[in-house]
Amino acid sequence: MEDVDCRYLGGNGADYKELRNFDNIRQITMFPILLAAIRAAIGDKLLSIAVLGKQGQSVLPSFKSMSLQAICDMLGYTQKSGPQVRPSVDFINVMGYNLMNRHGKIKKHHTSVVNSKTTTKDYLARVVPSEKLNIGFAYYAKYFTIQGNCSSSPLNCHIAIVEDPWCHGTFTSGAWIFEEFHMHPVDTPQ
């Protein structure tokens, strides 16, 4: 089995502040060609792709001069491009995690059944029949520092600045994996 991980096809990946989505548009047109070539090379082996589960809009700094144009995070899997991907793959693995990342400004769940269900419906409408669709959930947690006082609930609160202008982390967010060395009590300041 071969699996191709292509989360941010067409843009909005780790370099989203440096490369405009327009500069990545070729990824969308080349991806079905790449998958067809892989399919031809591997024959009857299974071929799957891992795709982004995060929906929503990211406003990119490079687009601010263009009327704050919002760009969708599922750029590479539209009703037009999705059907070109489908013939080459046996399965599409939707990542039901990373639904909140450093691109966001408002705290949401990092992995969520409700949001994953919405994303799944969107992929069914755009790309893939249900018999080819899988969904995965994270076995780790993410945290984001809340900005200011948000006492009612941490959801829908503004988060602290999580990355600098060069896309480097500011240590106000991170991940927690559930491994034995993390399961010991943590000393907290009094």
Locus of tokens 């829908």: 156
Look at residue 18 and tell me if it is in a domain: yes
Buried b / exposed e across 43-66, counting CB within 10 Å, b at 16+?
eeeebbbbbbbbebebebebbeee
With residues binned 3-state (H G I as helix, E B as strand, rest as coil), the percentages for the chain, rounded to 5, are 25, 20, 50
Look at residue 121 and tell me if it is in a domain: yes
Strands (E) across 81-162 are located at 91-95, 133-136, 140-144
Look at residue 145 and tell me if it is in a domain: no
* The token pair that represents 158 in the structure block: 């503004």
* The token pair that represents 108 in the structure block: 């949401």
Assess contact for 55 and 109: CB atoms under 8 A: no
What pLDDT does 22 receive?
57
* The token pair that represents 121 in the structure block: 């419906």
Look at residue 120 and tell me if it is in a domain: yes
Look at residue 119 and tell me if it is in a domain: yes
Domain span at 90: 2-139
Low-confidence ranges of the chain (pLDDT < 70): 7-24, 55-76, 127, 182-190
* The token pair that represents 94 in the structure block: 């939707």
Q: Which DSSP category does 112 fall into?
A: -
Look at residue 29 and tell me if it is in a domain: yes
Residue type, 185: P
Assess contact for 98 and 80: CB atoms under 8 A: no
What pLDDT does 89 receive?
92
What pLDDT does 185 receive?
64
What pLDDT does 37 receive?
96
> How many structural domains does the chain have?
1
> How far apart, in whole angstroms, are the C-alpha atoms of residue 183 and residue 65?
47
Look at residue 151 and tell me if it is in a domain: no
Number of H-type helices and E-type strands within the chain: 3, 8
What pLDDT does 51 receive?
85
Look at residue 65 and tell me if it is in a domain: yes
